[in-house]
């Protein structure tokens, strides 16, 4: 036998042994294991490399375990709230929180997510409005500006924010910036040199000299957070770049949803930034420094919980929150997500809701940025049609909003898509808002977007081409690893 033959047989034997490892040792979910087996056997060797880059789990013991917010001042408040909720003596701030106390208790117990009663919330659906407000708030910051984005581009929009940060750093304001090393792969620290020279600090999350060979490439920080003076927080779907302001002619209009929050829920956002800063720089900010958690008063009653998830956490808290909300719905569930590639638990929950007479509407983009994602969106959309759900494809531009609205009572908005990657692989953060008036505003936004969408009816779905059916089948099979 030739050397080439021996080498080929050895590689295939190694591929087979690796497949056994995926099934019996790596302890992946059955659906994920089958998806990886499909890749390994139909794309041998190359599939092996893909698994090394995208299939491994992070070792949780390498992460610093932390309490959700200020360990000294706020921890007693959290313990008191948790104790009262567990003992059923907690006075819920409004009727909506009382109605959904099981959701709140789950997130308090398993995500250390404080319920903050007093907040003011502004909703942005246009990038230009969000960036205008953000720059104005940056210009008015006096103590600290903490910013993290999955994607930060040094284009016209990015430069306007960057210039505002440089000016504040020159004025002595503490400026810290985190960007994701893969999401912002064209960005390097040298692009922030003027900010660094002015006293600002910048770090890339899970950085590597060889981005595409980074062993942690599969675990990205998908959060978009800005915290100003510990009192104002921005959270939602918009990254930083011209396309997010609708200025990219190739992409066109960009539809997203972002929140500006003023209130004590910002403490939780601040705490998550501190944790991510530690992971990026291996430096824990001093949480006893109350400049990060200042005392201030907000009259407005609007309860908010900030819920996070990531590969470092034991529970998929954002996914579990979605499911708990779905199970509580009595009248309607409206969902917007660029990706609708749910796992089995989410899919069964939303199918049961639709089959039970709940008005389930799911909106995704008419055109996606990934062919397999489009196939998966279509396949799972077809599943929902068979259970009585309604599927809408947004046509005005690219829909990037991540929002779920339930019964004119609660809304969840944040960074997490409806897919396995957001549920378990990415670092994500969402806000749950327990307020009827705000939820009605979000429901109205959805209904306005519905006017710019076409509905995929069962009859239209049955008319799809054979090629689309094949693409759906393949996409459905590998959906656990998309």
Is 400 assigned a catalytic role? yes
User: Residue 184 to residues 65, 158, 305, 335: CA-CA distances in angstroms?
Assistant: 27, 12, 28, 28
224: annotated active-site residue: yes
Instruction: For Cα atoms 151, 155, 158, give the angle at the middle one, nearest 5 degrees.
Output: 60
* 260 is an active site residue: no
DSSP codes, 440-463: HHHHHHHHHHHTTEEEE-HHHHHT
Point out the catalytic residue in the list 168, 222, 258, 272.
Answer: 222
395 in Cβ contact with 452 (< 8 Å): yes
Whether 396 sits among the annotated catalytic residues: the reply is no
What is the sign of the dihedral through the CA atoms of 365, 368, 369 and 372?
Answer: positive
Strands of 310-406, DSSP E: 332-336, 340-341, 359-365, 390-394, 398-399, 403-406
Q: 222 and 183 in contact (C-beta within 8 Å)?
A: yes
Of the listed 276, 400, 419, 449, which one is catalytic? 400
- Which is catalytic among the residues 312, 407, 419, 449? 407
Reported as type and span, the H/E element at residue 431 is strand 428-434
Active-site residue among 402, 419, 435, 449?
402
Calculate the alpha carbon distances from 273 to 14, 79, 295, 394, 481 in Å.
Answer: 42, 21, 19, 33, 27
Q: How many CA atoms lie within 13 A of 219 on its CB side?
A: 23
Calculate the CA dihedral of residues 429, 214, 56, 43 and round it to 10 degrees.
120
Active-site residue, selected from the candidate residues 146, 153, 168, 224: 224
146 is catalytic: no
Active-site pick, 180, 181, 229, 312:
229
Query: How many CA atoms does the CB half-sphere of 381 hold within 13 Å?
Result: 33
Cα–Cα distance, 46 to 191 (Å, whole number): 34
As beta bridge partners, residue 301 has 118
Rounded alpha-carbon distances, angstroms, from residue 94 to 100, 120, 207, 264, 378: 10, 15, 44, 16, 39
Specify whether 407 is catalytic: yes
Nearest alpha carbon to residue 450 among 364, 327, 381: 364
Using only the alpha carbons of the chain, give its radius of gyration: 23
Give the burial class of 451: count Cβ atoms within 10 A of its Cβ; 0-12 exposed, 13-18 middle, 19 or more buried: exposed
The rounded distance, in Å, linking the Cα atoms of 263 and 116 is 8
Active site residues: 222, 224, 229, 400, 402, 407
């Amino acid at each position: 036998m030739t050397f080439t033959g021996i080498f080929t047989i050895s590689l295939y034997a190694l591929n087979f042994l690796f497949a056994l490892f995926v099934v019996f040792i790596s302890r992946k979910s059955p659906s994920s294991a089958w998806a990886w087996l499909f890749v390994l056997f139909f794309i041998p060797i190359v599939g092996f490399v893909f698994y090394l880059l995208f299939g491994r789990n992070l070792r949780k013991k390498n992460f610093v375990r932390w309490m959700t917010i200020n360990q000294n001042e706020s921890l007693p408040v959290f313990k008191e709230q948790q104790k009262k909720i567990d003992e059923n003596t907690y006075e819920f701030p409004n009727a909506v929180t009382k109605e959904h106390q099981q959701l709140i208790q789950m997130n308090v117990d398993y995500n250390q997510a404080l319920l903050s009663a007093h907040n003011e919330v502004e909703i942005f659906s246009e990038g230009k409005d969000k960036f205008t407000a953000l720059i104005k708030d940056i210009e008015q910051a006096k103590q600290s500006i903490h910013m993290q984005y999955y994607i930060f581009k040094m284009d016209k929009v990015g430069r306007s924010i960057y210039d505002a940060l440089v000016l504040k750093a020159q004025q002595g304001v503490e400026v810290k910036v985190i960007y994701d090393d893969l999401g912002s792969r064209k960005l390097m620290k040298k692009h922030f040199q003027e900010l660094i020279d002015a006293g600002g600090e910048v770090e890339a999350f899970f950085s590597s000299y060889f981005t595409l060979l980074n062993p942690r490439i599969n675990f990205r920080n998908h959060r978009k957070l800005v915290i100003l003076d510990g009192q104002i927080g921005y959270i939602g779907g918009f990254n930083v770049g011209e396309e997010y302001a609708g200025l990219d002619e190739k992409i066109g209009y960009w539809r997203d949803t972002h929140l500006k929050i003023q209130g004590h829920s910002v403490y939780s956002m601040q705490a998550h930034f501190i944790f991510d800063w530690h992971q990026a720089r291996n430096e824990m900010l001093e949480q006893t420094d109350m400049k990060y958690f200042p005392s201030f008063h907000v009259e407005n009653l609007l309860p908010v919980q900030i819920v996070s998830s990531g590969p470092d956490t034991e529970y998929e808290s954002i996914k579990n929150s979605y499911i708990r909300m779905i199970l509580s719905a009595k009248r309607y569930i409206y969902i917007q997500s660029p990706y609708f590639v749910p796992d089995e638990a989410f899919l069964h929950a939303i199918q049961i809701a639709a089959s039970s007479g709940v008005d389930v509407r799911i909106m995704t983009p008419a055109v996606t940025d990934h062919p397999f994602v489009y196939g998966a969106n279509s396949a799972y959309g077809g599943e929902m049609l068979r259970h009585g759900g309604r599927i809408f494809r947004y046509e005005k531009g690219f829909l990037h909003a991540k929002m779920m609205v339930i019964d004119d009572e609660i809304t969840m908005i944040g960074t997490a898509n409806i897919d396995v990657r957001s549920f378990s692989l990415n670092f994500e953060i969402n806000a749950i808002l327990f307020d009827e008036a705000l939820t009605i505003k979000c429901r109205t936004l959805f209904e306005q977007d519905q006017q710019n969408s076409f509905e995929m009816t069962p009859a239209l779905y049955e008319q799809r081409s054979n090629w689309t059916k094949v693409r759906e089948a393949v996409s459905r099979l590998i959906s656990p690893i998309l």
